[in-house]
Amino acid sequence: MGVYVRIVTEKINIEELIAKVESADHGAIDLFIGTVRNHHHGKDVLGITYDVHETLAEKLFKEICEEASGIWPDTDYAVIHYKGELPVSGISIVIAVSSPHRAESFEACRYVIEEIKRQAPVWKQEHYLDGKSDWLPGHSLRHEGKHTNTCCGQCCGGKHA
């Protein structure tokens, strides 16, 4: 099992990421690419600033990939997350998962992005057409699975919304 994780401040190189999980005995690579959307809750979005606790985030990405590998054996992982400001369509995260057959790659890749969204110390500040900016609500790392004051209401399938 191979795991490669990085936080970067330059444009994410997708080819480099694919190369990290390529293997002669793996017949599938699944790729998730997260990009900046031009709208959110009815507001026109011009870009997003990503703030990241780099040390903790890289540690957590590695732990999530290792957990996934325990569920889907013989899978390899590469995760890169961007830190800094991105315009609309900018790439914020790329996850590559390889496996001998496609089913494991699809499932493991979905698992990794969902866990990163729920656990990783990453924050988004959206910048709007009207000149305003907002830090987005999210999932509390303190109140795992409990009601929180500022929950986004979407991160746990309504569990603590």
Pick from 150, 153, 159, 161 the residue near other proteins by CB under 8 A. 150
Site for other proteins in 4-33 (CB under 8 A): none
How many residues belong to the site for other proteins (CB under 8 A)? 38
Strand order in the sheet with 28-35: 3-8, 76-82, 91-99, 28-35
Pick from 81, 86, 99, 127 the residue near other proteins by CB under 8 A. 81
Residue 93 sits in the site that holds other proteins (CB under 8 A): yes
Please count the other Cβ atoms lying within 10 Å of the Cβ belonging to residue 107.
17
Question: How many angstroms from the chain centroid is the CA of residue 155?
Answer: 13
Residue 160 sits in the site that holds other proteins (CB under 8 A): no
CB 23 within 8 A of CB 97: no
Interior CA angle at 50 toward 30 and 57, to 5°? 65
Residue 53 sits in the site that holds other proteins (CB under 8 A): yes
Site for other proteins in 94-123 (CB under 8 A): 113, 116-123
At 73, give phi and psi (nearest 5°).
Answer: -60, 160
Pick from 1, 71, 152, 161 the residue near other proteins by CB under 8 A. 152
| Residue closer to other proteins, measured from CB, 28 or 160 | 160
At 110, give phi and psi (nearest 5°).
Answer: -60, -45
Using the structure block, give the residue that is written with the tokens 């997003």: 48
At 78, give phi and psi (nearest 5°).
Answer: -140, 130
**Which one of the spans 23-31, 37-45, 103-111, 145-153 is the region binding other proteins (CB under 8 A)?**
145-153
Pick from 11, 44, 135, 161 the residue near other proteins by CB under 8 A. 135
Pick from 31, 84, 138, 156 the residue near other proteins by CB under 8 A. 138
β-pairing verdict for 122-128 and 133-135: antiparallel
Footprint on this chain of other proteins (rule: CB under 8 A): 34, 50-53, 55-57, 59, 81, 92-93, 113, 116-125, 135-143, 148-152, 155
